[in-house]
Amino acid sequence: MLLTAIRMNLSSLTLLSIAIWPTYAQDHVLPEASYVCDVLNNLPAYRNKLITIKGEWIRGEHGDVMKGQCTATLASDKHIWPNAISLEQTGLSRDQPTLTFRTDMESLRRAWATLARERLAGNAKPVTITVEGWLQSPEALLVTKTEPIRGNGFGHLSVYPARLLIRAVKSVTFDVGP
């Protein structure tokens, strides 16, 4: 009887730890900002983690991306993936995971305003953005075998190998890092 009670308590503890882990993981940011290329070169280490990342910010008609000037390329099935990560606000698509945070819209609005002000002033330099967020990437990057070639990535036409669900924008500068 004592053995049965111990087993039940261990089962309850296991279920409790499984239920708590995703929340704990989403609340603890990896300590240092990583560059886009570092993340893309080691996706499994960053996948499903709350991270801070730096890269060149590209605002486009179909959304925002964070780009890197990487020496290595990410390839699967002879398909070369772009050296970029899609940036998304939380709550915009149904395929996003349940998170313990929402995008800090004030930090995002400040970043948009900074970029707009600099562009209106004639500053055409590339922009480095530092963003904290939840990184997602498929376990295996796949592409279709027929035209048009499509991947199982993120962003417009699923072309990016990862996406960062934005928690907050930390900084915007007009000098590009590595």
Q: Give the residue among 133, 127, 56 at the shortest CA–CA distance from 91.
A: 133
Structure token pair of residue 163: 């996406």
Q: What is the reported pLDDT for 35?
A: 94
- Of the ranges 1-15, 67-81, 116-130, which is most confident? 116-130
DSSP 143: B
Q: What is the mean pLDDT of residues 25-50?
A: 81
Q: What is the reported pLDDT for 148?
A: 64
Query: What global pTM score does this model have?
Result: 0.77
DSSP string, 31-75: SS-EEHHHHHHTHHHHTTEEEEEEEEEEEETTEEEEE---SS-EE
Q: What is the reported pLDDT for 128?
A: 94
pLDDT at 37 over 90: yes
Q: For 44-97, how does the pLDDT look when each residue is reduced to its tens digit (9 = 90+)?
A: 999 999 999 999 999 988 889 999 999 888 777 777 888 999 999 988 877 788
Task: Work out the pLDDT band at 178, boundaries 50, 70, 90.
Answer: very low
Q: What is the reported pLDDT for 110?
A: 97
Neighbours of 150 (CB within 10 A): 14
What is d(CA 63, CA 58) in angstroms, rounded to the nearest whole number?
9
Task: Work out the pLDDT band at 127, boundaries 50, 70, 90.
Answer: very high
